[in-house]
């Protein structure tokens, strides 16, 4: 069904009803619709009892884990929904450093993750220092740790169910550690996003590495890249030394568009991505830094991909870049799936930008 842009009145299949704005009007006239966009994000978050925007209480406590830098009022919680001001002290809702809000499960290698075609678990990369086999690690497995919180509010979220807070998802770290055996060769932290619980994830990683006693255990991350500098440095060192990778979701390049569809600016994401560039040439195999972009029809076009790809190439043209097909989800479920034509045009734009390792990550969900 076609929708109409409330500003230019263009009608299209590629205008989503939560925003009711086309990509051109968002990029060119964001200032006119900032309040409208903020209201939409606030309403979507209200459904999950999450703060409508990052709190900035003058008498509150600063949480500096991520870009949002929430100043949380007494007995209030931060934008991510899991950090609170409890009597003048910052704590997680569950008030225990040995617990986290996450799910975890094992997958046989190679997995279907974005990095699989070039990582030690799914290719001949990194052998023998970071991989048990020269080729895909058949017979070994990956531990996936899904953190149930996020520093963004993406209207197209593919895993939006994590926003439903549930006490039974508060897990004990030791139980997870005890499940790791000699066939576990890599761990991936994702979500949601690891960022709101990065102190927990970093400490958990250190305990797991210590338990493995020098054996191969790669630590990887899938993230929106909004963490503070100190946390970024710690997670980078863990991945660099263990043979793991850090995958950034570069959702949009234009900041107005990014704020419209994700609720938050992309400036910390781009800054952090650029700062990790120095690791790429220091450990070219296996790839340390990987990028991906979800091709949301109507909102992520060839112009966005060209700018994202040019940015990546300016950091290092050897960084792998994956273009991902969109399946309708969450508040943007009225959009169609990514057309094949758009995916291949974006592929060509990324190639023209100078990137050398480009893939279309899930071509089976593209539509004609």
Give me the mean pLDDT over the 169-186 stretch.
95
The mean pLDDT value of the chain amounts to: 96
- Main-chain phi, psi angles of 106, to 5 degrees: -110, 145
Spatial distance between the Cα atoms of 269 and 223, rounded to a whole number of angstroms: 9
Other Cβ atoms closer than 10 A to 88: 8
pLDDT in the model for residue 117: 86
Rg of the chain taking only CA atoms, in angstroms: 20
Give me the mean pLDDT over the 194-199 stretch.
97
pLDDT in the model for residue 1: 81
pLDDT in the model for residue 114: 84
Spatial distance between the Cα atoms of 160 and 263, rounded to a whole number of angstroms: 14
pLDDT in the model for residue 131: 96
pLDDT tens digits, 247-295: 999 999 999 999 999 999 999 999 999 999 999 999 999 999 999 999 9
For residue 167, pLDDT beyond 90: no
Please report how many Cα atoms fall inside a 13 Å half-sphere around the Cα of residue 244, on the Cβ side: 26
What percent of the chain is modeled with pLDDT above 90? 93
Spatial distance between the Cα atoms of 366 and 368, rounded to a whole number of angstroms: 7
CATH of domain 99-365: 3.20.20.70
Other Cβ atoms closer than 10 A to 318: 15
Residue with tokens 């066939």, as numbered in its chain: 183
Please report how many Cα atoms fall inside a 13 Å half-sphere around the Cα of residue 291, on the Cβ side: 32
pLDDT in the model for residue 112: 84
For residue 234, pLDDT beyond 90: yes
Give me the mean pLDDT over the 121-149 stretch.
95
pLDDT tens digits, 21-30: 999 999 999 9
Angle, CA of 158, 238 and 67, to the nearest 5°: 50
Label residue 95 by pLDDT band (50, 70, 90).
confident
For residue 96, pLDDT beyond 90: no
User: Helix or strand or coil: residue 171?
Assistant: strand
Q: Measure Cα distances from 29 to 4, 70, 153 in Å.
A: 16, 27, 21
For residue 166, pLDDT beyond 90: no
pLDDT in the model for residue 85: 96
pLDDT in the model for residue 199: 96
Sign of CA dihedral 224, 226, 229, 234: negative
pLDDT in the model for residue 136: 94
Say what the pTM is.
Answer: 0.96
């Amino acid at each position: 069904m076609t929708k109409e842009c409330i500003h230019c009145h263009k009608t299209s299949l590629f205008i989503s009803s939560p925003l009711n704005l086309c990509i051109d009007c968002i990029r060119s006239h964001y200032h006119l619709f900032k309040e409208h966009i903020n209201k939409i994000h606030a309403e979507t978050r209200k459904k999950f009892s999450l703060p409508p925007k990052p709190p900035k209480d003058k008498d509150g406590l600063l949480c500096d884990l991520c870009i949002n830098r929430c100043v949380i009022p007494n007995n209030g919680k931060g934008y991510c929904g899991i950090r609170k001001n409890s009597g003048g002290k910052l704590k997680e809702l569950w008030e225990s450093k040995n617990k986290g809000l996450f799910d975890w499960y094992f997958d046989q290698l190679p997995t279907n993750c974005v990095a699989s075609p070039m990582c030690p678990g799914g290719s001949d990369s990194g052998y023998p220092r970071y991989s048990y086999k020269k080729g895909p690690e058949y017979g070994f497995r990956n531990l996936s740790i899904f953190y149930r919180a996020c520093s963004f509010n993406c209207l197209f979220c593919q895993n939006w169910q994590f926003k439903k807070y549930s006490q039974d998802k508060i897990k004990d770290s030791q139980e997870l550690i005890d499940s790791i055996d000699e066939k576990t060769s890599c761990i991936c932290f994702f979500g949601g996003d690891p960022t709101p619980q990065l102190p927990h994830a970093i400490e958990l990683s250190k305990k797991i590495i210590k338990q493995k006693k020098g054996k191969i255990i790669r630590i990887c991350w899938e993230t929106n890249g909004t963490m503070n500098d100190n946390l970024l440095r710690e997670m980078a060192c863990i991945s660099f030394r263990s043979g793991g990778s850090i995958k950034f979701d570069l959702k949009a390049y234009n900041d107005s568009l990014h704020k419209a569809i994700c609720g938050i600016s992309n400036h910390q994401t781009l800054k952090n991505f650029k700062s990790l560039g120095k690791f790429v040439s220091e450990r070219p195999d296996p790839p340390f830094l990987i990028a991906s972009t979800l091709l949301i029809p109507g909102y992520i076009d060839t112009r966005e991909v060209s700018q994202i790809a040019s940015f990546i190439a300016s950091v290092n043209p050897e960084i792998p870049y994956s273009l991902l097909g969109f399946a309708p989800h969450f508040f943007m479920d009225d959009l169609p799936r990514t057309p094949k034509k758009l995916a291949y045009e974006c592929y060509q734009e990324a190639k023209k930008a100078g990137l050398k390792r480009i893939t279309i990550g899930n071509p089976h969900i593209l539509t004609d």
